[in-house]
Amino acid sequence: MRFLPELLLLGSGLVFFFLSLGKPSDQLLKRTANIISLIVLLSTLACLGQQGSLFYDSYRVDLFSQFFKMLLAAATFFLLLGTNGHPSIKSNSKAEYYIFMFMSLLGLMMLVSSVEMISIFVALELSSFAVYVMVPLRADTGKKILHTEAGIKYLLYGVMATGFLLFGMSYLYGLTGTTHLYGLAGTSHEQGLVEQVTYMFNRPAAVVAMVMVMSGFFYKLALFPFHFWVPDVYEGSANETTAFIATVPKLAAVALLIRLVTMINVDGQTIVNLLLICSLGSMFYGNLSALVQKDLKRMLAFSGIAHAGFILFGLLTFQITGYTNAMYYIVGYVVMNLAIFMVVCTISKTGENILIEDLRGLNARSPLLALTLLVSLFSLAGIPPFIGFTGKFMLLIGALKQDPRFLIPVILAAFNTAIGIYYYLSVVRIAYCTDEEKTEPVQTSFMVKVLSLFFIALIVYLGLIPSSLLAISQKAINVIL
């Protein structure tokens, strides 16, 4: 029962493997995927209250991991529901595409439960390798072979980041003699036998080791010095793949980063400063580069880099409120991105990339999609009363509460919000304020309409009444502290 969602995902891999042997219709594959993701979501909901540890205590099942599993499953479910049959995936490898998607989800679910460095590494590799294959599985568009370039870039950067991760892990092992996270953090049974890394942050070795381990997840989160793959991969992969990369792995990355930063002692000023630089650098780099983008997905890539900076801003307060806010923020970010990518996938009928110019007159072509886009973009920009504003607001409060010296970074972060507004607003401008000659209306299915309303309601609801989500996040984080 504790392992049920993971087992179901493993089983789904087999289902799609058998389907890939024949020549299933797109419709069949799509339906199967929807049903499986629904079952997985329900199973994670059912397992929300489970507790315990598996595999010689390298795998913890607690509220923290189960809540994140639920979020991962829900994000995948809504992603599959909102995207329409993956038109730009090579038609003879659609079944394989779903295998890799569910395998990646399996890896991410294992990742959020892993508390042992080896199992973290194995789970991370499982999730990454599946995505490495998903990226180049795009049908040739004839012109440029962007997807191959994207795939290779993603692979190479990923391997490099994994290298950093392993190197950092070896240092951590060398310093403490254990590979177990709880052993490192000083909450294990063997307390006293090993020296805990928590009290070592006055030593350069511990700082270097921890930063290297974290950089493996910075790569997943698309944070500043590890962001180089992001724009090209977003642009090169199919819209649905981008939607997956932009949302689901980031949830798991935040989960792992929360686990890692709880081990850091606040007295280690060096590491705080280092993370602060990464965070602010990420915001400035992302926001300034996004200003000049013409491709919508590229713009979202840079905006994702900027938002990663905000999330790190919550983590580096080293307070439970900061972690809770970061968790709230990533949930909001995923909801907004799912909404935007649903709009992108609906507009792009044949799976081509959407330029910002292509949104011209969307208000007239499909008012509901335009409204969804408007709400989620304004939310990303951080305008009240949407979830993006509440998230940013609480992150800034949390930071300033923790230490008055954060005033300057908080002001800089606020400036970044102002920069960001311009490019979000210019997309809205194209969608709303252009009176064009009549273009054909966008066909939206019933499901997309329902989902649009659902996303809008969710963004407003979570923005106005954040307490329920915050309460459960706090409860989840309390478990691992």
Partner 1 sequence: MVCLLIMETAMLGVFAALDFVLFYILWEAMLVPMYLLIGIWGGPRKIYASIKFFLYTLAGSILLLVAIIWLYVSNDYSFFIPDIMWKNYSSTAQLMLFGAFFLAFAIKVPMFPFHTWLPAAHVEAPTAGSVILASILLKMGTYGFLRFALPIAPHAVVQVMPWVLWLSIAGIIYGGFAALAQKDMKKLIAYSSVGHMGFVTLGIFILNIQGIEGAILQMINHGVTTGALFLCIGMIYERTHSRELALATGVGKYMPVYVTFLTFFTLSSVGFPGTNSFVGEFMVLAGVFEPNKFFSNNIALGLAAIPGAVLAAAYMLRMLQKIIWGGTSNPDQSWISDLNAREIVTLAPFLLFVFWIGLAPGTFLQFMHASVAELVTKFHAAQSAATVAGQILQ
Shortest CB 402 distance to partner 1, Å = 10
How many of the chain's residues bind partner 1 (CB under 8 A)? 28
- Shortest spacing between CB 397 and partner 1, in angstroms: 5
| Closer to partner 1 by Cβ: residue 39 or 412 | 412
Q: Is 384 in the site for partner 1 (CB under 8 A)?
A: yes
To partner 1, the closest distance from the beta carbon of 383 in angstroms equals 6
DSSP string, 218-263: HHHHT-GGG-THHHHHHHHS-HHHHHHHHHHHHHHHHHHHHHHHTT
> Residue with structure tokens 């969608």?
431
Considering the complex, state which of residue 233 and residue 383 has its C-beta at the smaller distance from partner 1. 383
Q: Which CB, 203 or 401, lies closer to partner 1?
A: 401
Sole window of 237-245, 255-263, 287-295, 379-387 interacting with partner 1 (rule: CB under 8 A): 379-387
Positive/negative CA dihedral, 210, 216, 217, 218: positive
Name the minimum Å distance from CB 410 to partner 1.
Answer: 6
| Region 287-346 residues binding partner 1, contact defined as CB under 8 A | none
Contact between 240 and 79 (Cβ < 8 Å): yes
Compute CA 88 distance to the chain's CA centroid, rounded to the nearest angstrom: 22
Cα–Cα distance for residue pair 149/221, rounded to 1 Å: 20
Nearer to partner 1, 228 or 461 (CB): 461
Give me the least distance between CB of 409 and partner 1, in Å please: 11
Q: How far is the CB of 267 from partner 1 (least distance, A)?
A: 22
Helix (H, G, I), strand (E, B) or coil at 295: strand
Stretch that binds partner 1, among 197-205, 229-237, 309-317, 429-437 (CB under 8 A): 429-437
Choose between 270 and 319: whose C-beta lies nearer to partner 1: 319
Tell me the Cα Rg of the chain: 21
The piece of 129-137, 270-278, 430-438, 473-481 that touches partner 1 (CB under 8 A) is: 430-438
Handedness of CA 64, 66, 69, 75 (dihedral sign): negative
| Contact by Cβ (8 Å): 130, 107 | yes
Mark residues 356-375: x for contact with partner 1 by CB under 8 A, - for none: -------x----------x-
String of contacts with partner 1 for each residue 89-128, x by CB under 8 A = ----------------------------------------
- Least CB distance from residue 278 to partner 1, whole Å? 21
Phi, psi of 131 (to 5 degrees): -70, -35
Q: Which span sits near partner 1 by CB under 8 A: 176-184, 320-328, 338-346, 432-440? A: 432-440
Q: How far is the CB of 417 from partner 1 (least distance, A)?
A: 6
CB contact set of 4 (below 8 Å; sequence gap of 6+): 43, 46, 47
From the CB of residue 435, how many other CB atoms can be counted at a distance below 10 Å? 8
424-429 long-range contacts (CB < 8 A, ≥24 apart) are: 424/303, 424/377, 424/378, 424/380, 424/381, 425/377, 425/381, 426/356, 427/296, 427/299, 427/356, 427/359, 427/373, 427/377, 428/373, 428/374, 428/377, 428/378
Q: How far is the C-alpha of 213 from the C-alpha of 231, rounded, in Å? A: 23
Per CB under 8 A, 378 contacts partner 1 = yes
17 binds partner 1 (CB under 8 A): no
Question: Considering only residues 29, 75, 359, 383, which one is a binding residue for partner 1 as defined by CB under 8 A?
Answer: 383
d(CA 344, CA 41): 24
Rounded Cα distance between 9 and 19, Å, is 15
- Residue 35 or 291: the one with the smaller Cβ distance to partner 1 is 291
Phi, psi of 409 (to 5 degrees): -55, -35
Site residues (CB under 8 A) for partner 1, limited to 388-427: 389, 393, 396-397, 400-401, 404, 407, 410-411, 414-415, 417-418, 421-422, 425-426
Query: Which residues sit at the interface with partner 1, rule CB under 8 A?
Result: 363, 374, 378, 383-385, 389, 393, 396-397, 400-401, 404, 407, 410-411, 414-415, 417-418, 421-422, 425-426, 429, 432-434
